[in-house]
């Protein structure tokens, strides 16, 4: 008697998609032998997604077959794919094949198509089968029930052959189709315009056997194929709320640290430095970065000034950013604002933090994130999750936020920023008998006492320093107010 099983119900193995970020939102990849529909309008990336999965499987030593019905010709598809980095001619013909089954569908209906699929799975011993053109199979089906039976039979074969099946269809994403009820998962791709800007997304609408990350996630197509960027609020929703460690770290401006009873910025805290252009935000950030070391690596993310301009500015302040960069203690990261997706930037930032074990982070400025947000209502939760995750990773963060008003005594904090950060510092100009003065005010500093006065600041070739307190009438005392 054969007894190859234990009493427990065995878990189904997973198949990695080989698409960065996709396994994360699927909770570990596709379930092996599952049948999945990938749905979306033409041009949203279905073909690239399915091919990338095939090539990834082949790269791991498996075999795959790509079956088309009424889709682009194989030669054109291969030509288009050849510019992508995952493309590998070495996969042909033994481990990856492109075949057309349209003739079998036309002559033999769904039964004829099923015969081809079954034989391809058997003879090629493939672990991944793509059927591109489910719409054509659906149209060849006399009734919805026939199509359901076709899918069911396909599921039986997939299990017997240990083959994961992807069914690609351009069917409407807003209508429930009969086949949706049958398959193990339904993945929807979308390419949507937000004014003039287009943004791709992916959504797992159904995924049997596991809790996939719900909602829409960013999707990018470039020379490496598809990358998926999970929505940061979904990715870190189960992360515990991090607590700040005791202690402080130097801000890089000793006279500023002297205003704080802790002697520096609280460890692993998030500070927003808010002020209009020219008030000294970038200077403060660079001095904070200048205090980086091998033990406390620093990272500078800028949206509006490229690394060369940042280096030039640092030199003018007498800072050693060049040397720190060369030693590896500092990295300057530049992100062009506008076209990048919000979660893509967060992914890049957290990746850079992880790669070098960053402990000091400067984000100059927060508006770069906001400009990338196609759903502005996300920003509050986004920043909250980002700040919490950075705290979890033991990073002390300075974030610069530019205000519109050059001279103002009101601190406007958009996106609920004041509520999610630990510390808030306000920089501004005031007129004083024909002179313009820069002032610094600490509005909030968590877990430490501080001098809450109006502090005059000077910026010269040695950087920023506090130059005493400023006497003024009450109308320049700042009050935090949400931006309208």
Partner 1 sequence: MKTILVVDDELGSAEVLGLILEEEGFRAFCAVNGQLALAQARDVVPDLVIVDYMMPLMNGAEFARELRADPAFERTRIILNSGLPESVIRDQFDGYDAFLRKPFKVEVLLALIRQLLEN
Q: Which residues bind partner 1 (CB under 8 A)?
A: 1-10, 33, 118-119, 122, 149, 152-153, 156-157, 159-162
- Least distance (Å) from partner 1 to the CB of residue 357? 44
Q: How does 426-451 read in b/e, with b if 16+ C-beta sit within 10 Å? A: bbbbbeeeeeebbbbbbbbbeebebe
**Does residue 110 come out as left (phi exceeding 0), alpha (psi in the -120 to 50 range) or beta?**
alpha
Nearest in space to 432 (alpha carbons), one of 461, 470, 466 = 470
Let me know: does 38 contact 167? Beta carbons within 8 Å. yes
- Least distance (Å) from partner 1 to the CB of residue 89? 29
- Least distance (Å) from partner 1 to the CB of residue 127? 11
d(CA 352, CA 48): 27
- Least distance (Å) from partner 1 to the CB of residue 8? 7
Instruction: Please identify, using beta-carbon distances, which residue of 3 and 222 lies nearer to partner 1.
Output: 3
Q: Please name the residue ranges forming H helices in 175-320.
A: 232-235, 254-257, 281-290, 307-316
* Backbone CA torsion sign across 151, 157, 159, 164: negative
Instruction: Please identify, using beta-carbon distances, which residue of 2 and 223 lies nearer to partner 1.
Output: 2
Instruction: Please identify, using beta-carbon distances, which residue of 8 and 83 lies nearer to partner 1.
Output: 8
Instruction: Please identify, using beta-carbon distances, which residue of 6 and 295 lies nearer to partner 1.
Output: 6
Angle between helices 379-392 and 342-356 (to 10 degrees): 10
- Least distance (Å) from partner 1 to the CB of residue 76? 33
Instruction: Please identify, using beta-carbon distances, which residue of 77 and 134 lies nearer to partner 1.
Output: 134
Let me know: does 389 contact 268? Beta carbons within 8 Å. no
Instruction: Please identify, using beta-carbon distances, which residue of 181 and 316 lies nearer to partner 1.
Output: 181
- Least distance (Å) from partner 1 to the CB of residue 158? 9
Instruction: Please identify, using beta-carbon distances, which residue of 210 and 476 lies nearer to partner 1.
Output: 210
- Least distance (Å) from partner 1 to the CB of residue 2? 4
Q: How does 234-247 read in b/e, with b if 16+ C-beta sit within 10 Å? A: bbbeeeeeeebeee
d(CA 353, CA 358): 5
Sheet containing 423-432: give its strands across: 330-334, 298-302, 360-364, 396-402, 270-275, 423-432, 435-444, 455-460, 463-469
- Least distance (Å) from partner 1 to the CB of residue 121? 9
Q: Which residues does 392 contact at the CB level (< 8 Å), separation at least 6?
A: 239, 240, 242
Instruction: Please identify, using beta-carbon distances, which residue of 65 and 345 lies nearer to partner 1.
Output: 65
**Bridge partners of residue 130, in order along the sequence:** 66, 166
């Amino acid at each position: 008697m054969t007894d190859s099983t234990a009493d427990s119900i065995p878990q189904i193995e997973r198949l990695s998609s080989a698409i960065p970020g996709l396994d994360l939102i699927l909770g570990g990849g596709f379930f092996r032998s599952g049948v999945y529909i990938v749905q979306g309008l033409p041009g949203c990336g279905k073909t690239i997604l399915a091919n990338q999965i095939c090539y990834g499987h082949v790269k791991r030593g498996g075999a795959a077959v790509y079956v088309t019905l009424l889709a682009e010709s194989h030669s054109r598809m291969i030509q288009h794919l050849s510019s992508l980095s995952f493309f590998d001619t070495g996969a042909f013909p033994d481990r990856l094949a492109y075949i057309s089954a349209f003739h079998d569908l036309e002559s033999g209906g769904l039964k004829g198509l099923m015969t081809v699929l079954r034989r391809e799975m058997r003879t090629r011993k493939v672990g991944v089968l793509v059927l591109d053109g489910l719409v054509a199979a659906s149209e060849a089906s006399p009734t919805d029930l026939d199509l359901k039976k076709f899918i069911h039979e396909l599921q039986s074969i997939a299990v017997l052959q240990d083959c994961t099946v992807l069914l690609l269809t351009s069917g409407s994403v807003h209508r429930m189709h009969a086949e949706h009820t049958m398959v193990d998962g339904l993945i929807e791709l979308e390419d949507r315009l937000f004014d003039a800007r287009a943004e791709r997304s992916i959504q797992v609408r159904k995924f049997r056997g596991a809790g996939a990350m719900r909602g829409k996630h960013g999707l990018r197509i470039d020379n490496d194929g598809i990358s998926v960027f999970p929505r940061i609020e979904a990715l870190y929703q189960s992360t515990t709320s991090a607590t700040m460690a005791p202690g402080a770290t130097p801000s890089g401006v000793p006279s500023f640290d002297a205003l704080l009873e802790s002697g520096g910025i609280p460890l692993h805290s998030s500070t927003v430095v808010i002020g209009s252009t020219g008030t000294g935000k970038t200077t403060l950030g660079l001095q904070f970065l200048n205090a980086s070391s091998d033990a406390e690596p620093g990272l500078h993310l800028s949206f509006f000034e490229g690394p060369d301009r940042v280096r030039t500015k640092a030199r003018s302040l007498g800072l050693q950013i060049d040397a720190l960069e060369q030693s590896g203690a500092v990295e300057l990261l530049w992100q062009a604002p506008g076209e990048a997706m919000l979660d893509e930037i967060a992914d890049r930032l957290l990746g850079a933090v992880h790669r070098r074990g960053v402990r000091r982070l400067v984000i100059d400025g927060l508006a770069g994130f906001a400009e990338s947000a196609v759903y502005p209502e996300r920003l509050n939760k986004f920043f909250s999750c980002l700040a919490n995750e950075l705290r979890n990773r033991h990073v002390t963060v300075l974030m610069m936020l530019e205000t519109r008003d050059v001279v103002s005594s009101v601190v406007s904090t958009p996106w609920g920023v004041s509520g999610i950060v630990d510390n808030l510092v306000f920089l501004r100009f005031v007129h004083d008998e024909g002179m313009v003065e820069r002032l610094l005010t600490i509005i909030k500093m968590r877990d430490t006492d501080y001098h809450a006065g109006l502090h005059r600041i000077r910026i010269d070739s040695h950087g920023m320093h506090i130059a005493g307190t400023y006497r003024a009438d009450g109308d320049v005392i700042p009050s935090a107010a949400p931006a309208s």
